[in-house]
Amino acid sequence: MSEPVLKVEGLARAFEQGGVRIDVLKGVDLTIAPGEIVALLGPSGSGKSTLLQAVGLLEGGFQGRISIGGERVETLDNQGRTRVRRDRLGFVYQFHHLLPDFSARENVILAGLVAGKSDAEAGARADQLLTAMGLGARLTHRPSQLSGGEQQRVAVGRALANKPLLVLADEPTGNLDEATAAKVLAEFLTLVREQGSSALVATHNEALAARMDRVVRLHEGRLA
Ligand code: ADP
Ligand code: MG
């Protein structure tokens, strides 16, 4: 059997707010195989973002073990975390977080350049991804000149620019109307499958979750 892309063991996270302790994650175990796309379902406040932030090495303060591509990552220093995020992970959020002064194409290219691609290579990849999502005629538009669905497609392009081992998506279509959300998610899943990446996609939408390879549910701090 090939090595899991993600292995999470006993992940726990509590927050203290005004002297009150809330145990958000109480021992989460999750393994994702190469090429597998997993939906993370749970109502608002169940800890989906907390789990994705831990796996994305964006937050400390948790207990448990996390391995990405066979490498233990929760013990890494800042430099190591940055390397793993840059070389192995891709992120999509509910809000696009695109750079407002750069075009759609430039936003995707920058992700490639940061990871060490040449201008030509990063440009070709950006064109390929954006064209595949129907944005061939929007390459030079800035985020403010794009619709919500188009902005999220650019954010997807940025996340996939370097063919990451694992894509972490936190309600990636949560701000879109139902029809647009379904289309953008379908395009995202097609691209992720084509390039053989794995993905963990938080959503509270059962219909969207059903399109993925497997569904896991966060309930009372654990996965079921
Ligand atoms: P979801 O993404 O499923 O909506 P979150 O992971 O954002 O849930 O939040 C889970 C719980 O953790 C919520 O009760 C939230 O209030 C709490 N929480 C999240 N982040 C913090 C924080 N930085 N400080 C205090 N409580 C937090
Ligand atoms: Mg959330």
What is d(CA 26, CA 63) in angstroms, rounded to the nearest whole number?
A: 9
- Tens digits of per-residue pLDDT, 34-65? 999 999 999 999 999 999 999 999 988 999 99
Q: Rounded mean pLDDT of the chain? A: 96
Mutate to test the pocket of ligand 1, among 13, 20, 24 (most ligand atoms within 8 A of CB): 24
Residue 149 within a domain? yes
In a domain, 24, yes or no: no
Residue 135 in domain: yes
Does 157 sit in the ligand 1 pocket, CB within 6 Å?
Answer: no
What's the pLDDT at 2? 80
Best residue among 26, 28, 49 to mutate for probing ligand 1's pocket (most ligand atoms within 8 Å of CB) is 49
- Distance from residue 44's CA to the centre of ligand 2 (Å): 7
pLDDT for 190-208, tens place per residue?
A: 999 999 999 999 998 999 9
- Residues of the chain short of pLDDT 70, as ranges, are 1
In a domain, 199, yes or no: yes
pTM, two decimals, is 0.96
Q: Is 47 in the pocket of ligand 1 (CB under 6 A)?
A: yes
Q: How far is CA 64 from CA 4, 32, 69, 184, 199, in A?
A: 17, 16, 17, 34, 21
Helix, strand, or coil here: 90? strand
Residue 96, domain extent: 32-61+75-219
Dihedral in degrees, nearest 10, Cα atoms 173, 174, 180, 183: 30
| Six token digits for residue 128 | 């390929």
- Domain count of the chain? 1
What's the pLDDT at 224? 87
Residue 194 has what pLDDT? 97
| Whole-angstrom distance, CA of residue 127 vs CA of residue 94 | 23
Select from 198, 201, 199 the least CA-distant residue to 34: 198
- CB-CB neighbours of 140 under 10 Å: 10
Structure tokens at 205: 């939408």
- List the residue whose alpha carbon is closest to atom 27 of ligand 1: 15
Report the nearest-CA residue for atom 18 of ligand 1. 15
Please name the amino acid found at residue 127.
Answer: D
What is the CATH number for 113? 3.40.50.300
Taking residue 45's Cβ as centre, other Cβ atoms within 10 Å add up to 11
Burial 83-107 (b: 16+ CB within 10 A, else e): ebbeebbbbbbbebebeeeebbbbb
CA distance 113 to 185: 26
* Predicted local distance difference test score (pLDDT) of residue 60: 87
pLDDT at 1 (0 to 100): 60
Q: Is the CB of 13 under 6 A from ligand 1?
A: no
Inside any domain, residue 7: no
| Nearest atom within ligand 1 for CA of residue 47 | 6
Q: Is the CB of 53 under 6 A from ligand 1?
A: no
User: Is residue 141 situated within a structural domain?
Assistant: yes
User: Ligand 2 centroid to 63 CA: how many Å?
Assistant: 20
16 lines ligand 1 (CB under 6 A): no
